[in-house]
Amino acid sequence: MPNPQSLAVAAHLHVLLRRHIARNTDVEWLAANRDYAAEIHRVCIETEFIDLHEWAAKLVAAHDIAQLSPQPALRPAAVRSEPAISLERHAPPPVKRYVASLR
Amino acid sequence: MTRLMTLALRTIAALALSLGVLCSHAQPAPAPTQTPPAPISQTHPTRVDAARISAGDTAWMISATALVLLMTIPGLALFYAGMVRKKNILATMAQTFAVCALVSVLWCVAGYSLSFMPGSPWIGDFSASFLDTVYFNKNSAQLSVHHLAPTVPESVFVMFQLSFAIITPALIAGAFAERMRFSAMLWFMGLWSLLVYAPVAHSVWEPSGWLAQQGILDFAGGTVVHINAGIAGLVAAFMLGRRIGFGQEALMPSNLGYTMIGASLLWVGWMGFNGGSAGAADGRAGYAVLVTQLAAASAALSWMLAEWLVRGSPSLLGLCSGAVAGLVAITPASGFVDARSSLLIGAIAGLGCYWGATALKRVLGADDSLDVFGVHGVGGLIGAVLTGAFASPTIGGVPGSVLTQAIGAVSTLAYSGVMSAAILWLVDLFVGLRVTDGQERAGLDRSLHGEAVE
């Protein structure tokens, strides 16, 4: 069960992601799973939205602080074949599609 | 007694003889005089007997009208809504729906009369205001026909042309999507339909129109609809300015599935758009439907190829856009070209409109949100010129002229561009064109309509 702080951060981040880039997330999984949180953190810092960067950082902090309960059974969508992603990685170049051109 | 009987017999014999003489000289009763039907005027609506109407032509024209109306609602509404951000889906649909209602009323009041009554070479007159020329009398079995479609009731002709008058301004909305005030949009569309669409339609399609007199070939509206709407959209994009975040952030399409459904409705509906422009259920209509399909298909493939080479992968949006580009380009040509020409027109349009929606858009620098000019403007120009090059006298009855087509295209660009700018300037003066920054960031759905897609 995710702690209330990480749940609150995840919920807020969920709303921001929907608003800015129409991205849906699984809030409970985001609050509980570090790998998923790391991926969403990566998505956030690729964008140009400052508030996404801020709340992604809060999500990272919430996961670091939290005493996570034993990981629930991994859902297939959250399984990654590579090792857990470092939250310190550098952001890849921003997405170019749909910037200044629809087609 | 004997003398009396003899006299009676003589009288009877005389009577019989007279009757026989009369019978031998009897003539058949003269047939009632056959009055020839009144000739149908070549310049004005005419009242005719219902028997002169073709049931087949009428049935097809009514069906074609429904197909074209479906192109706008919900075809264009879905096509556009899928390409805007989620927070603007409902507002985009509302614009299309409102334009349909608004133009329908204005068409009845004055639009039809200004477009399709003789008037002058530049504009019609008010003789058919409130559809006064449209006549139907069940008891006397008489009704009116328009001179451009003498085998169908005038009411059907009015409705078919109305469906064109509706979709043309609705196309423009794609250029200023996500940032125009709803009230300003209504004012602009209403004025535009009367002051821009009607004169251009009159010039090109009404026999007394000045472009028609020049011999322009525009079977179903490449100039009247697509070049016209395209340039108006570009002007609107310039005058409204760019959306917040344009060029800096990704403005994500909300649901390209909607766009595909909309594009499919456009594709199928175009069978009515071009086929119905024959004004009859005949071989020419059938040929128009065939070349329409071929052009759409070849354009979808050529756009897909271009995108595949440039971007590295084809996209659903590219396929849909390509098909629409081909449909736009074949519109003026559909009653004049053969199958091979239609494949070529489509292929060229797919490549040309891909360029128009990408490289040309960057050069122009305007935020034409949904590429109205890139697809409809450029596609319309390509189609207009190629109609002049490929028109077959065998199919259309007349040869084409690239020069005449170019004159029609350029004059429409000029007139529509200038008048659209003038109307927008006027609307901005009295109403204001653009929503506030806060409204734009929050999304037009909530800001202007109090609704949202959850």
Digit-coded pLDDT (tens) for B404-453: 999 999 999 999 999 999 999 999 999 999 999 999 999 999 999 999 99
Contact residues, chain A, for B233 at CB < 8 Å: none
Contact: B317, A99; criterion CB under 8 Å = no
Contact residues, chain A, for B361 at CB < 8 Å: 101
Check residue B195 and give its pLDDT. 98
Confidence of residue A71 (pLDDT cuts 50, 70, 90): very low
Confidence of residue B4 (pLDDT cuts 50, 70, 90): low
Across the range A73-102, mean pLDDT stands at 55
Check if the beta carbon of residue B78 is closer than 8 Å to that of residue B86. no
Q: Chain A: nearest CA to B231, how far in angstroms?
A: 18
Check residue B157 and give its pLDDT. 98
Check residue B12 and give its pLDDT. 61
Check residue A97 and give its pLDDT. 87
Across the range B47-56, mean pLDDT stands at 97
Sign of the CA dihedral running B296, B381, B73, B444: positive
Span of A44-48, B297-301, B319-323 with lowest mean pLDDT: A44-48
Check residue A85 and give its pLDDT. 46
**If you measure CA to CA, which chain A residue comes closest to B84?**
A102
CA distance B259 to B372: 14
**Cα–chain center distance at B160:** 7
A22 inside domain: yes
| Omega before B74 within 30 of 0, i.e. cis | yes
Nearest by CB: B252 against A22, A49, A101? A22
**If you measure CA to CA, which chain A residue comes closest to B370?**
A102
Confidence of residue A95 (pLDDT cuts 50, 70, 90): low
Confidence of residue B10 (pLDDT cuts 50, 70, 90): low
A84 inside domain: no
A33 inside domain: yes
Span of B4-18, B65-79, B217-231, B328-342 with lowest mean pLDDT: B4-18
With 90 as the cut, is the pLDDT of residue A70 above it?
A: no
Confidence of residue A46 (pLDDT cuts 50, 70, 90): confident
Cα angle B386, B390, B396; round to 5: 115
Residue listed under structure tokens 């109090």: B450
Contact: A103, B249; criterion CB under 8 Å = no
Check residue A82 and give its pLDDT. 44
Please report, to the nearest 10 degrees, the dihedral formed by the alpha carbons of residues B142, B143, B144, B149 taken in order: -110
Task: Tally DSSP H helices, then E strands, for chain A.
Answer: 4, 0
Confidence of residue A66 (pLDDT cuts 50, 70, 90): very low
Q: Chain B: nearest CA to A83, how far in angstroms?
A: 30
Nearest by CB: B249 against A19, A99, A101? A99
Contact: B250, A21; criterion CB under 8 Å = yes
Cα angle A52, A57, A60; round to 5: 125
ipTM: 0.77
Check if the beta carbon of residue B336 is closer than 8 Å to that of residue B391. yes
A57 inside domain: yes
Question: pLDDT over 90 for what percent of chain B?
Answer: 90
Number of CB atoms found within 10 A of residue B389's CB: 15
With 80 as the cut, is the pLDDT of residue B6 above it?
A: no
CA distance B3 to B94: 108
Contact: B374, A103; criterion CB under 8 Å = yes
Sign of the CA dihedral running B186, B191, B193, B197: negative
Check residue B75 and give its pLDDT. 98
Nearest by CB: B83 against A47, A95, A102? A102
- Whole-model pTM: value is 0.80
Across the range B171-199, mean pLDDT stands at 98
Confidence of residue B98 (pLDDT cuts 50, 70, 90): very high
Question: pLDDT over 70 for what percent of chain B?
Answer: 92
* pLDDT tens digits, one per residue of B268-316: 999 999 999 999 999 999 999 999 999 999 999 999 999 999 999 999 9
Contact: B369, A22; criterion CB under 8 Å = no
Confidence of residue A62 (pLDDT cuts 50, 70, 90): confident
Contact residues, chain A, for B251 at CB < 8 Å: 98-99, 102
Q: How many domains does chain A have?
A: 1
Contact residues, chain A, for B362 at CB < 8 Å: 100-101
Tell me which residues of chain B, numbers 231 to 270, contact chain A at a CB-CB cutoff of 8 Å: 246-254
With 70 as the cut, is the pLDDT of residue B50 above it?
A: yes
A90 inside domain: no
Q: What is the mean pLDDT of chain B?
A: 94
Best of B86, B178, B252, B445 to substitute, by most chain A Cβ atoms within 10 angstroms, is B252
Contact: A102, B253; criterion CB under 8 Å = yes
Check residue A92 and give its pLDDT. 45
Contact residues, chain B, for A49 at CB < 8 Å: 249
With 50 as the cut, is the pLDDT of residue B21 above it?
A: no
Write the single-letter amino acid at B397: G
Span of A40-44, A68-72, B4-8, B108-112 with lowest mean pLDDT: A68-72
Range of the domain at A28: 4-69
The CATH H-level (homologous superfamily) assignment of domain B48-242+252-437 is Ammonium transporter AmtB like domains (1.10.3430.10)
A27 inside domain: yes
Confidence of residue A61 (pLDDT cuts 50, 70, 90): confident
Check residue B15 and give its pLDDT. 59
SS3 B180: strand
